[in-house]
């Protein structure tokens, strides 16, 4: 599977980039490890969301490391970035909805440790 089919287009990135918060370093000397590029991190996040793979599977794609993408996802989630995407209608552009499927159940899952009630046939003696 080619990961390039999941990369963000230039047109979509031009709309996404202004909605991202500016990162401020909190290191007193201003020295820190260079952050992964925002576009690479977003490509990694979109790859995981579109394919449904685990974060660790992202390492094999070469887009960016799973830890960088997941950390940036948490950072942007807390900053409300994805809500801003939704509000600006970006969630609809660039997503091929034909490849998205719903996976879930319409019934409540049983509680852990709960016992199934097994119905037994009534005998003549139990009816009386």
Q: Is 93 in contact with 69 (CB distance < 8 Å)? A: no
Give mean pLDDT, residues 67-88.
91
Q: What are phi and psi of 52, to 5 degrees?
A: 80, 15
Kindly tell me if the per-residue pLDDT of 80 is higher than 80.
yes
For the chain, report the end-to-end CA distance as a whole number of angstroms: 66
Which of the two residues, 110 and 84, has the higher pLDDT score? 84
Per-residue pLDDT band for 54 (boundaries 50, 70, 90) equals very high
Residue with the bigger pLDDT between 114 and 77: it is 77
26, two tokens: 């909190």
pLDDT(108) > 80: no
CB 20 within 8 Å of CB 76: yes
What is the C-alpha separation between 35 and 41, in angstroms, rounded? 10
Question: Residue 88: its pLDDT value, please?
Answer: 77
């Amino acid at each position: 599977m080619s990961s390039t089919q999941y990369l963000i287009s230039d047109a979509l990135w031009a709309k996404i980039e202004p909605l991202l918060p500016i990162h401020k370093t909190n290191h007193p000397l201003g020295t820190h490890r260079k952050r992964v590029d925002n576009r690479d991190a977003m490509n990694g996040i979109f790859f995981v969301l579109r394919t449904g793979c685990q974060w660790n599977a992202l390492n094999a794609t070469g887009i960016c490391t799973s830890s960088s993408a997941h950390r940036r996802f948490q950072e942007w989630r807390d900053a409300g970035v994805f809500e801003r995407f939704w509000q600006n209608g970006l969630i609809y552009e660039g997503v091929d909805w034909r490849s998205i499927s719903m996976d879930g159940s319409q019934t409540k899952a049983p509680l852990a440790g709960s016992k199934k009630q097994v119905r037994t046939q009534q005998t003549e003696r139990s009816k009386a």
